[in-house]
């Protein structure tokens, strides 16, 4: 039995050994690791299964050191033999990297480790062979890749996502920026990208959460301070265990310059498409566009605009006789002159040839437009001097008004064109509205305005005086000064014709000042001569009263003329006074304090509120002549006149009736206790000589 036991335990030990061997084989296979041993006494070799596999030799084939040497690539043979000799002597084999060529021709990279073991019965060299071909390929590739990165002409950076410090910079980056690697590694992206803001960095970081790649443009600053544009491709990655990004930057300065150039060229082409090359003015295309805009804008804002169609008179003659280059210069000069007269919001265009158009936006009435047209015509009065030629050129202008004439774009142009031909027919060098009515009005107003200015300069105004009577006593108590315009060609022009226009354009201020000076001077003289002219009633425009300098001017004039404020009465029409009653109260109180009396002119034609009448520092109401005209026949006028008389009484105001022409009217008025009368019944307005004669007669 003991024998059996021994046999059993031996079998068990063998079984265990076999099992272990099988595990070893599997481990070797997993690690691509083959084991081997060389008996240095018999020089026989034993290879594990994995070793056969690594060397590409069929399992079980007898092998020895020579088998190994024969497979080794020749350049490794000498080193291998030296190492073996050294190993036997030193009893160890250092790591040996080599390459073999397997019988199937495949070249493999091997790593061999070994050591010598010696005991009583044997001297062995044992070791392992590892096939590291894959590993070295990866290593080689990695090395090649990093070389590639390093020598790439692109700038490549690896940046710590948290600290924004550089973890790696390549040669290309150093070269582009002018820093050494050491210097650059100490910088942060803030130093290199001076314009990059925190906000931009955050945007890139946010994008990188969702995308692996982000494209960005930035500006780099070199060590010498110069700058250039770069395009960056940014990738997320992990580098040396840190969250990082790799940035590939390409200098795109040239591309940017090219883009700029393209943009400029595009703009130029666009500009050329919409502008006339000769005058640089908008051309027909842009004009049509602006006209469309003007219609839309005016419709939205309920405004009017005017379209002026301008054609130079007899331009063709200049072109034909002096040649196109001179014609061109005339057009340029004309464009310049017109351009100086249009406001920024208006559009002056050249449609071609000698045709220009102007869109005058937001016009208030035909007078503004006519004034503008007249200015354009006047601007051509000065001759144009080109190459020793003195050229006299005029312009004819046609005007259509949106929306008065039409709201159609096409018709506006057609109508302005038609009006322009009308201007040519009228003898050129003038403007015409499409609507005949407007032309008449505008011309009248423009002519009137021009002439009024001349009248002020040339002192064409005279003061007439109309007496005011106390009807009960049949005595003259004062007079109203009334302006007369004695035009050198036309003769006397009624204030009814020019006062409303002068009110509109502000010339009334100058006119009233002339009348005031003249009348005060005259009054002073009469008082001095002992003629007792009573009160001087002056008509005053609210515009004048509202003027800041009016009080000073009034006092100065009174003083200069030796005129006593107690002689003065100022007439303001009811309509004007009630336009801004609060302002009137303030201004009139100041006058009243000087002892000047205030009368409401044309009373009954405006809309007075009784409460304001009470507050205003008034002395007199002048019943408008329109109510007097038909009394006592017209019962309405009788009723109104009676009511006005009642108001004056209750407010304790003096009352004067204007426009009394007949005995009947006078009697009715006096009967109803209105004692003051002004009208043709007593006298028409007369000049100062006639008035002086009247005063003298009365004082006899």
> Which residues make up the interface to Mg ion (CB under 5 A)?
539, 571, 601-602, 658
> Using CB under 6 A as the criterion, what x/- string covers residues 532-551 for binding ligand C2E?
-------x-x----------
Looking at the Cβ atoms of 155 and 602, the one nearer to Mg ion is 602
For ligand C2E, the closer CB: 214 or 656? 656
Which runs of E-coded beta strand occur in 240-337?
A: 242-251, 305-312
- Quote the least distance from Cβ 316 to Mg ion, whole Å: 56
Site for ligand C2E (CB under 6 A): which residue of 110, 483, 509, 694?
Answer: 483
Q: How far is the CB of 659 from ligand C2E (least distance, A)?
A: 4
Size of the site for ligand C2E (CB under 6 A): 24
Residues in 446-475 at the binding interface with ligand C2E, rule: CB under 6 A: 466
**Dist CA 476 CA 130 (whole Å):** 143
Does residue 509 bind ligand C2E (CB under 6 A)? no
The closest alpha carbon to 610, from 571, 653, 657, belongs to 653
Q: How far is the CB of 601 from Mg ion (least distance, A)?
A: 4
Residue 483 binding result from Mg ion, ligand C2E, none, given CB thresholds of 5 to 8 Å by partner type: ligand C2E
Burial class, 574, CB count within 10 angstroms (exposed 0-12 / middle 13-18 / buried 19+): buried
Q: Does 665 bind ligand C2E (CB under 6 A)?
A: no
> Given the rule CB under 6 A, which of 123-131, 291-299, 428-436, 675-683 is the region that contacts ligand C2E?
675-683
- Residue 188 has what DSSP assignment? B
The token duo for 266 is: 């595009």
129-137 CB contacts, 8 Å cutoff, 24+ apart = 129/33, 129/34, 129/35, 129/36, 129/51, 129/54, 129/55, 130/31, 130/32, 130/33, 130/34, 130/54, 131/32, 131/34, 131/54, 132/97, 133/107, 133/108, 133/109, 135/109, 136/109
Q: Quick check: helix, strand or coil at residue 67? A: helix
- Residue 541 site contact among ligand C2E, Mg ion, none (CB < 5 to 8 Å, cut-off depends on kind): ligand C2E
Query: ∠ at Cα 483 (477, 485), nearest 5°?
Result: 150
Cα–Cα nearest to 354, from 422, 281, 410: 281
Is 637 a residue that touches ligand C2E (CB under 6 A)? no
The one of ligand C2E, Mg ion, none whose footprint includes residue 45, by CB under 5 to 8 A per kind, is none
For ligand C2E, which is the closer residue by CB, 38 or 540?
540
- Residue 680 interface partner, choices Mg ion, ligand C2E, none, CB cut-off 5-8 Å depending on type: ligand C2E
Name which of 124 and 619 has its Cβ closer to ligand C2E: 619
Report the alpha-carbon distance of residue 92 to residue 117 in Å, rounded. Answer: 9
- Contact status: 478 vs ligand C2E (CB under 6 A): no
In 3D, which of 326, 381, 349 has the Cα closest to residue 279? 349
Q: Considering only residues 413, 476, 685, 694, which one is a binding residue for ligand C2E as defined by CB under 6 A?
A: 685
Distance between CA atoms of residues 680 and 658, nearest Å: 9
Q: What gap in Å lies between CA 405 and CA 436, rounded to an integer?
A: 11
Binding flag, residue 659, ligand C2E (CB under 6 A): yes
| Burial label, 46 (beta-carbon count in 10 A; 0-12, 13-18, 19+) | middle
Give the nearer residue to ligand C2E in terms of CB position, either 341 or 510.
510
Distance in Å, CB of 306 to ligand C2E, minimum? 31
Of the residues 399, 482, 558, 561, which one makes contact with ligand C2E according to CB under 6 A:
482
* Neighbouring residues of 607: CB distance < 8 A, sequence distance ≥ 6: 574, 578
Name which of 499 and 501 has its Cβ closer to ligand C2E: 499
252: three-class secondary structure by DSSP: coil
494 near ligand C2E (CB under 6 A): yes
Does residue 518 belong to the site contacting ligand C2E (CB under 6 A)?
A: no
Residues of this chain that bind ligand C2E (CB under 6 A): 466, 482-483, 494-496, 499, 508, 512, 515, 539, 541, 571, 601-602, 625, 658-661, 678-680, 685
């Amino acid at each position: 039995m003991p024998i059996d036991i021994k046999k059993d335990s031996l079998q068990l030990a063998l079984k265990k050994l076999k099992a272990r061997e099988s595990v070893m084989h599997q481990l070797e296979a997993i690690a691509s690791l083959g084991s081997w041993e060389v008996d240095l006494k018999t020089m026989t070799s034993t290879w594990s299964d994995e070793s056969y596999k690594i060397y590409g030799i069929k399992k079980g084939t007898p092998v020895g050191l020579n088998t190994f040497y024969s497979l080794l690539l020749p350049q490794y043979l000498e080193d291998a033999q030296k190492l073996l000799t050294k190993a036997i002597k030193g009893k160890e084999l250092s790591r040996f990297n080599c390459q073999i060529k397997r019988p199937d021709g495949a070249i493999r990279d091997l790593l061999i480790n070994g050591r010598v073991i010696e005991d009583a019965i044997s001297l062995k060299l044992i070791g392992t062979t590892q096939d590291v071909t894959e590993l070295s390929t990866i290593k080689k590739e990695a090395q090649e890749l990093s070389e590639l990165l390093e020598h790439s002409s692109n700038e490549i950076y690896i940046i710590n996502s948290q600290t924004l410090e550089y973890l790696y910079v390549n040669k290309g980056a150093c070269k582009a920026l002018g820093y050494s690697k050491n210097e650059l590694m100490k910088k942060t992206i803030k130093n290199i990208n001076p314009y990059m803001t925190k906000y931009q960095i955050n945007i890139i970081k946010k994008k990188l959460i969702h995308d692996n790649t982000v494209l960005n443009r930035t500006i780099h600053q070199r060590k010498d301070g110069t700058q250039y544009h770069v395009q960056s491709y940014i990738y997320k990655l992990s580098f040396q265990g840190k969250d990082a990004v790799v940035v590939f930057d390409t200098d795109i300065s040239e591309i940017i310059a090219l883009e700029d150039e393209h943009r400029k060229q595009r703009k130029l082409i666009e500009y050329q498409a919409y502008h006339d090359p000769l005058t640089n003015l908008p051309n027909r295309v842009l004009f049509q566009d602006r006209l469309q805009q003007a219609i839309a804008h005016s419709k939205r804002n309920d405004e009017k605009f005017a379209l002026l169609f301008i054609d130079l008179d007899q331009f063709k003659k200049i072109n034909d006789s002096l040649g196109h280059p001179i014609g061109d210069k005339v057009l340029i000069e004309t464009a310049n002159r017109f351009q100086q007269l249009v406001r920024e919001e208006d559009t002056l265009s050249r449609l071609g040839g000698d045709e220009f158009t102007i869109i005058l936006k937001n016009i208030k009435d035909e007078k503004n437009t006519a004034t503008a047209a007249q200015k354009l015509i006047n601007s051509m009065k000065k001759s144009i001097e080109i190459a020793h030629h003195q050229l006299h050129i005029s312009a004819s202008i046609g005007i259509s008004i949106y929306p008065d004439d039409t709201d159609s774009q096409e018709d506006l142009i057609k109508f302005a064109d038609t009006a322009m031909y009308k201007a040519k027919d009228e003898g050129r060098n003038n403007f015409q509205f499409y609507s005949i009515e407007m032309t008449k009005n505008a011309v009248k107003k423009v002519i009137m305005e021009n002439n009024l200015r001349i009248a002020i300069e040339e002192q064409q105004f005279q003061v007439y005086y109309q007496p005011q009577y106390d009807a009960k006593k049949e005595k003259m108590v004062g007079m109203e000064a009334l302006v007369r315009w004695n035009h050198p060609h036309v003769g006397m022009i009624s204030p009814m014709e020019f006062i409303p226009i002068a009110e509109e354009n502000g010339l009334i201020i100058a006119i009233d000042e002339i009348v005031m000076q003249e009348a005060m001077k005259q009054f002073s003289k009469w008082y001095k001569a002992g003629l007792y002219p009573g009160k001087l009633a002056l008509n005053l425009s609210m515009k004048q009263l509202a003027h800041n300098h009016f009080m000073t001017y009034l006092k100065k004039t009174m003083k200069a003329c030796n005129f006593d404020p107690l002689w003065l009465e100022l007439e303001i029409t009811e309509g004007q006074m009630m336009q801004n009653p609060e302002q009137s109260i303030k201004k009139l109180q100041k006058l009243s304090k000087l002892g000047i009396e205030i009368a409401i002119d044309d009373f009954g034609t405006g809309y007075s509120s009784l409460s304001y009448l009470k507050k205003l520092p008034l002395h007199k109401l002048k019943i408008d002549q329109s109510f007097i005209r038909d009394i006592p026949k017209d019962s309405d006028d009788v009723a109104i006149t009676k009511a006005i008389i009642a108001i004056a009484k209750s407010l304790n105001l003096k009352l004067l009736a204007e426009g009394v022409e007949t005995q009947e009217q006078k009697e009715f008025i006096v009967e109803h206790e209105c004692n003051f009368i002004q009208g043709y019944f007593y006298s028409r307005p007369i000049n100062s000589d006639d008035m002086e004669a009247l005063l003298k007669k009365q004082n006899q």
